[in-house]
Amino acid sequence: MNKQQLARIFAHPPELVTQRLILRKLQVSDYADMYEYSRLEEVTRYLLWDPHPDEHYTLRYLDSLQVQYRNGMCYDWGVVWRENGKLIGTCGFTSFDLPNNRAEVGYVINPAYRGRGVAPEALMAVLDFAFNELKIHRVEAKYINGNDASRRVMEKCAMTFEGILRGYLYVKREYRDVGICSILADEFKSKFGNTRFYSRRHPQKNSGLLNIFNKERFFT
Ligand SMILES: CC(C)(COP(=O)(O)OP(=O)(O)OC[C@H]1O[C@@H](n2cnc3c(N)ncnc32)[C@H](O)[C@@H]1OP(=O)(O)O)[C@@H](O)C(=O)NCCC(=O)NCCS
């Protein structure tokens, strides 16, 4: 895959539908839902950005993303709770290293929806998309040391902990150690075989889409 092909895909990111979620392009009209969690210090504690100061800031941010989408340079999906249509977070790729066929992922979920396996459900769809559609070789994820919930999400998605990058990030006036996890295409395929973690259309209720996130056996 080259830069132009990647840009073409993400200029119109496909909708990925899972058991409880829809991953779709972020829209300016999501600003109130996004502000609801982006304003919280508990959400941004382990992120590179600070809480959004007001709804206008969130609106302008989402507006700037539309330009990035048009240029095929935004690789993030909005995570929507299917039951009520509310935007409850984001999940997607933070960067691609195309010469090495590598991608990095990230996610944020509204604390009101925390602890229900939402991030793993969204991340599995993104990993499935990375390996089966984009044909990526390696997906990695990093977390600031101490963000145990995020590391848990990576583990639930069968990513392997590789170690701690010491003093890797200077963030919020501090050098922080960063943990790194990854999964390779072969590992994903041997672990999950032909299981698909999203569909591209809106399934009916009880469509039979696999909800692995209620099943302990995947939470290794
Ligand atoms: C990290 C995050 C995405 C997890 O999302 P989630 O949808 O709650 O994920 P899960 O439901 O699978 O929970 C993951 C872990 O979070 C922890 N957790 C769950 N509910 C929690 C709560 N109410 N308070 C604190 N931690 C909680 C548990 O350790 C859980 O692991 P377990 O299922 O083995 O018990 C979410 O907490 C978040 O958005 N945090 C702020 C942004 C962030 O740090 N993003 C990651 C950047 S690397």
Locate the domains of the chain by residue range. Answer: 3-138
Give me the mean pLDDT over the 187-196 stretch: 96
Q: Measuring CA to CA, how many Å separate 216 from each of 20, 117, 182, 213?
A: 17, 11, 21, 8
- Find the 3 Cα to ligand 1 centroid distance in Å: 33
**4-55 pLDDT per residue, tens:** 999 999 999 999 999 999 999 999 999 999 999 999 999 999 999 999 999 9
How far is 158 from 116, CA to CA, in rounded Å? 17
Residue 23: per-residue pLDDT: 98
Tell whether the model's pLDDT for residue 220 goes beyond 70: no
Verify whether ligand 1 is closer than 6 Å to residue 213 (CB atom).
no
- pLDDT reading at 95 higher than 90: yes
For residues 16 and 3, the answer to whether their CB atoms sit within 8 Å is no
Instruction: Tell which one of 52, 81, 126, 150 to mutate to probe ligand 1, the residue whose CB is within 8 A of the most ligand atoms.
Output: 150
* pLDDT at residue 173 is higher than 90: yes
Q: What is the pLDDT of residues 107-166, one digit of tens each?
A: 999 999 999 999 999 999 999 999 999 999 999 999 999 999 999 999 999 999 999 999
Under a CB-based contact definition with an 8 Å cutoff, are residues 161 and 155 in contact?
A: yes
Query: Is the pLDDT assigned to residue 178 strictly greater than 80?
Result: yes
Per-residue pLDDT band for 203 (boundaries 50, 70, 90) equals very low
Which residue, judged by its Cα, is nearest atom 8 of ligand 1? 114
At residue 201, the pLDDT reads 67
Q: How confident is the model over 85-94, as pLDDT tens digits? A: 999 999 999 9
DSSP annotation of 54 reads S
Q: How far is the CA of 145 from the centre of ligand 1 (A)?
A: 14
- Tell me which of 28 and 207 has the higher pLDDT: 28
Burial class (CB in 10 A: 0-12, 13-18, 19+), 61: middle
Entry pTM: 0.92
Closest residue by Cα to atom 2, ligand 1, is 150
pLDDT at 217: 31
pLDDT at res. 218: 36
CA–CA distance, 176 with 54 (Å, rounded to integer): 28
> Whose Cα sits closest to atom 32 in ligand 1?
152
Ligand 1: does its nearest atom lie under 6 Å from the Cβ of 88? no
pLDDT of residue 216: 33
Torsion of CA 156, 160, 164, 168, to 10 degrees: -80
Q: Which of 38, 153, 169, 220 to mutate to test the pocket of ligand 1 (most atoms within 8 A of CB)?
A: 153
- How far apart are the CA of 37 and the centre of ligand 1, in A? 14
Return the pLDDT at 210. Answer: 46
- The finding on whether 159 has its CB within 6 A of some atom of ligand 1 is no
Considering only CA atoms, which of 141, 138, 132 is closest in space to residue 196?
132
> What's the confidence (pLDDT) of residue 202?
47
pLDDT at 212 over 70: no
How does the average pLDDT of the chain come out, rounded?
Answer: 92
Alpha carbons 166 and 150: distance in angstroms, whole number: 18
Domain at 3-138, CATH homologous superfamily: Gcn5-related N-acetyltransferase (GNAT) (3.40.630.30)
Cβ neighbours for 208, distance < 8 A, ≥ 6 positions apart: none
User: What local confidence, expressed as pLDDT, does residue 219 receive?
Assistant: 30
Q: Measured between alpha carbons, how far is 149 from 116 in angstroms, rounded to an integer?
A: 12
Going by CA atoms, what residue is nearest to atom 18 of ligand 1? Answer: 115
The reply to whether ligand 1 has any atom less than 6 angstroms from the CB of 149 is yes
